[in-house]
Amino acid sequence: YGEIKRLIDLKEAARVIFRRRLEQLDGVAQAVVTGGLEREILIEVDPQKLDAYNISFSEIENSLKSSNINMPAGSIMKGLFRYSLRTLGEYDNISEIKSTVVKYNKNGNAILLMDIANVSENFKEREGLTRLNGSETVGILIYKESDANTVSISKKVKETIKVLQTEYPEFNLIVVSDQSGFIEDAITNVKQEIIYGGFLAVFVLFFFLGNLRNVFIIGITIPASLVLTILLMYLFKINFNIISLGGIAVGVGMLLDNAIIVIENVVRYREQGLSIRQAALKGSSEVTMPIVAATLTTIAVFLPLIFVKGIAGELFKDQSYAIAFSLGASIITAVTLIPMLAGREKYFTIKNKAKYEKNYLIIERPEIKSLFGKVIFWLSLPFVFIFRSTVFIIVKIVISISKYFSLFFEIFYRIANKLLDKLIDKYELLLEWSLNNKKSVLFLTLILLVLTGFATIDIKKEFIPPTDQEEFIVELNYPKGTSLKGNSELTSEIEKSIMNIKHVKNIVSNIGRVNEFDFLNKEQHSVNKTNLIVKLDSYKNYNEVQTNLKKVFANLGNISYSLKQVKTTYSELIQPTENDIVIKIKNKDIDSAFASAKNIIDKLNEGKINGISNLRIGVDKGSPEFRITIDNNKCNSYGVSIGDVARRIAYLVKGKEATFFSDFDKKVAINLRTKSSARYDIEEILNQYLILNNTQIPIKDLIKVDKSESYNEIWREEQSRTIYVFADTKDIGVDEAVDKIDKEISKMPTLRGQIINVGGANEEIHDSFSQLYAALFISIFLMYMILAMEFESFLFPFIIIFSVPLGLIGGILSLYLLGESISIISIMGLIILVGIADNDAVVKVEFILRKRNEGLNIHDAIVQAGKDRFRPIVMNSLTVLFALIPMIVGIGAGTQLRISLSLAIAGGLFSATFLTLIIIPVLYSYLEKWSKKEF
């Protein structure tokens, strides 16, 4: 009794206190209570006594309702006052319920409820329970509103739980699953990657510039651009989340691109003998239009993505805004801040250093006349001395460090500079060869494009790469007909085995149907199914635990299981379809549809398709049932309705909630049903009578009983009965899996009127990808229009746009060779690549045209522009590549997503940089001759 009372109290407290308080929080949509026991007043009627007294269930129900009433009765006037009237007649205790008069016999004696039924306080029958680490408990599932922030909601909930724990110390409130942890870790890691990437990008500049002053000028664009970006995101109400911060992390390296081009051009003119001010003016003005055009083409790629609908739109919108804002900020800083800083002579030097050091430590005594002023001066003197001494020491340390730092990097700068000069010489020879062997170069490029096409066809495709998390779900399916008790006992043994696995922290077991919303799931949670939520001590141990878990289940025998990731807000956004593969079989005849589903599973298992596992039917059939057919003609002959017979049988077996019993502020259901012996014996049910006008009618005379197998649920889709078959994929793309399943199903005979559809996550993939392709086409068109305006030509933009496929070569091949997949995340990286791959080509073509305008022939203009732009192009690419290294290395939560994104960008940028230096000059040479500018 103690355990029963504990579970009843837990459920009552969860529903009445904790759920209400949690649902009051802003952003919380709903709190659902799972597990526990629910109190009820149970009235078990003796069917034989009902027949003896000629009493029907309806009479008992009506008497209970009419004896349990509180209702207003209007109001009366007495003197100058109006008084409200209320009749009070609700039950105060169980004794009053027992004493309810059900009927009067022929002698006028009252037949009380206690004469025909047993009335007791009990708990409702249940179809599920919840356990934590093997101990039965009560859980609360908290769902946020669709537009609410997961992290902020989690903080509010945790704060509320702390308050509730203080107010109700008799209860132990534990947070066992929190989706915000994964999100917070991922956001923290992205922030770190932004910082590390920025440092690495600036670090690369030392080897090219060898001047702390110039490196500092370029490096300052990162914080300046980030401040502007954050301001713009705030003004446009763009959320700071994994997606938008990921866009900033990707854009960190690109923030330096424009600044590098400006400062490198300034340095080049300084080396030619111009003053620092003249070099700053001429160097910045010369490249302003090329970098603006190049940046606008990049921004143009992301503008159409803002208007994409559905999942792809949700994914790309915030990131597109973040990258567009950061690139816009980089233009502003590059054409304003960089020239201003570059044009300042000796900006970071201290004139008369010895005098500065001496005077900084000398504290002159001011002329103070008032006594109060003198007191304040002498009291503050020690603090002023300490402050100025500290600043002096810090300045000395910084100067010393910068001196040795400069000397240290001076060595590497000289080495890098010599290496770069050699590379430029080698590049000049390669460029000369390419211009003399244009057809060979284009043929080799065509071969690379063809290989990329084959790789695109062969590469694994999936909607989203799997991520390591601190939690995962084990779905258990026991044999049909397993009772809740049997399910609980079997699960208990599995719980013990899992808890013995190293790194497992907690297990939450949801056995059977644990809440009222389980019926909404197509994979029905019936009493023979269990979900285990396994919590680990760290996401790093995810793969190890899953490997050991498979060893545990290898000896389970007739128990099927599947492993799934816990749905986070992020994963729900990018993969709303819970199953990888969903096969829908539609047929008016549910039995035929179910038989086809079994045949499909048998056929697929026979085919042993690699990468497809855990085939299962979404509904269960096999539980025995009695189908009761009511004879309408016999009912008419007795003068009873079909509804009277159905209600009588329902009372006998299922029972009914007749009314409520008020216990202070609690409403306790009063349930009416027959004794259990009548409820579980079909023969005894057939021997019951239907009471009508004091006449007993045998139920067995009105019905026909057939024994058969039942479905635990029946789903309809487009008004057709539908059976779902689910499957999981591993090491195979969803598209590939769907194609293989379609081929196997096509070999099977088709039934007339039956429709079979194979889909799942790939439906979302196709929908998202089609929208992205349309947006990409618009982006390339916008790029072309911007370039056409920049170059005042309709031909030259084609050369620059050709850099896009050159980038895709490296992006796709890097994913293919390193075993990554084409997913919505890697597609995101390839789209970003489209935006940045053309930047080098824009500047290169701009300088070729400038050399042509200076009077050089095509060959010399191409070679000279190539040599002049080699250094900044390599610098730009290396800064972006080094900025991506923290994302490629992948440390922390959600790394699988960021690795796929950054690899696509890094590989594509590498190929675009190398091939742009060769292919773009060759194409320009062809195109200018073709346009008849030179014969």
The answer to whether residues 99 and 63 touch, using CB atoms and an 8 Å cutoff, is: no
Distance CA 635, CA 633 (A): 5
The answer to whether residues 810 and 911 touch, using CB atoms and an 8 Å cutoff, is: yes
Q: How high is the pLDDT of residue 394?
A: 63
> Class of the 182-349+437-462+766-930 domain?
mainly alpha
Closest CA to 257 of 305, 342, 329, 192: 329
Joined together, the tokens standing for residue 505 give 């922290």
Distance CA 737, CA 739 (A): 5
How many CB atoms lie under 10 A from the CB of residue 168?
13
Which tens digit of pLDDT belongs to each residue from 612-641? 777 777 776 656 677 888 888 888 888 888
Q: How high is the pLDDT of residue 374?
A: 64
Taking CA atoms, 671 is separated from 1, 47, 436, 676, 877, in Å, by 21, 16, 94, 13, 75
Distance CA 744, CA 819 (A): 27
Taking CA atoms, 243 is separated from 488, 646, 822, in Å, by 42, 57, 18
Q: Above 60 in pLDDT, residue 331?
A: yes
Joined together, the tokens standing for residue 870 give 């080699």
Pairing of strands 755-760, 612-617: unpaired
Domain boundaries, the chain: 2-178, 182-349+437-462+766-930, 353-417, 470-565, 625-704
> Class of the 625-704 domain?
alpha beta
Q: Is the dihedral of CA 788, 790, 796, 798 positive or negative?
A: negative
Distance CA 148, CA 815 (A): 35
Phi then psi dihedrals of residue 531, to 5 deg = -115, 125
Q: How high is the pLDDT of residue 395?
A: 60
Closest CA to 301 of 831, 842, 770, 838: 831
Closest CA to 247 of 145, 315, 155, 175: 315
Distance CA 591, CA 709 (A): 10
Helices 839-853, 895-930: inter-axial angle, 10-degree rounding? 20
Distance CA 686, CA 699 (A): 6
Q: For the chain, what is the largest distance between any 2 Cα atoms, rounded to a whole number of angstroms?
A: 128
Q: Is the dihedral of CA 687, 688, 690, 695 positive or negative?
A: positive
Distance CA 333, CA 327 (A): 10
Cα Rg, the chain, nearest whole Å = 39
Joined together, the tokens standing for residue 813 give 């091949």
Q: Which residues contact 706 (CB under 8 A, 6 or more apart)?
A: 626, 627, 629
Distance CA 362, CA 130 (A): 75
The answer to whether residues 524 and 567 touch, using CB atoms and an 8 Å cutoff, is: no
Q: Above 60 in pLDDT, residue 469?
A: yes
Closest CA to 244 of 196, 194, 294: 194
SS (H, E, C) 874-929: HHHHHHHHHHHHHHHHCCCCCHHHHHHHHHHHHHHHHHHHHHHHHHHHHHHHHHHH
**Of the ranges 331-335, 425-429, 533-537, 557-561, which one carries the lowest mean pLDDT score?**
557-561
Greater confidence (197 vs 525) lies with: 197
Which tens digit of pLDDT belongs to each residue from 660-694? 888 776 788 888 888 766 566 777 777 777 777 77
Place of tokens 């059900």: 102
Which tens digit of pLDDT belongs to each residue from 43-79? 888 878 887 888 888 888 889 888 888 888 888 887 7
Q: Above 60 in pLDDT, residue 335?
A: yes
The total number of residues shown for the chain amounts to 935
Confidence band for 718, pLDDT divided at 50, 70 and 90: low
> Class of the 2-178 domain?
alpha beta
Closest CA to 620 of 707, 723, 484, 489: 723
Give the distance from CA 839 to its chain's centroid: 32
Joined together, the tokens standing for residue 847 give 């300088």
Which tens digit of pLDDT belongs to each residue from 302-326? 888 887 776 667 777 887 888 888 8
Which tens digit of pLDDT belongs to each residue from 763-796? 666 676 777 778 878 888 888 888 888 778 787 8
Burial 864-903 (b: 16+ CB within 10 A, else e): bbbebbbbbbbbbbbbbbbbbbbbbebebbbbbbbbbbbb
Greater confidence (439 vs 675) lies with: 439
- CATH fold of 470-565 reads Alpha-Beta Plaits (3.30.70)
The CB-side HSE value for 47 (13 A sphere, CA atoms) comes to 24
Looking at residue 461, what DSSP letter applies? B
Closest CA to 500 of 559, 564, 557, 551: 551
Q: Above 50 in pLDDT, residue 128?
A: yes
Pairing of strands 612-617, 703-711: unpaired
H or E element: which one contains 101?
Answer: strand 101-104
Joined together, the tokens standing for residue 250 give 């990707």
Long-range contacts of 749-756 (CB under 8 A, 24+ apart): 751/587, 751/592, 751/596, 753/587, 753/588, 754/585, 754/586, 754/587, 754/592, 754/593, 754/596, 755/584, 755/585, 755/586, 755/587, 755/720, 756/583, 756/584, 756/585, 756/586, 756/596, 756/600
Domain 2-178 identical in fold to domain 182-349+437-462+766-930: no
* Paired residues of 621 in beta bridges: 711
Which tens digit of pLDDT belongs to each residue from 474-496? 888 887 777 888 888 889 988 99
How many CB atoms lie under 10 A from the CB of residue 57?
23
How many CB atoms lie under 10 A from the CB of residue 266?
27
Kindly state the average pLDDT of the residues 334-356.
Answer: 62
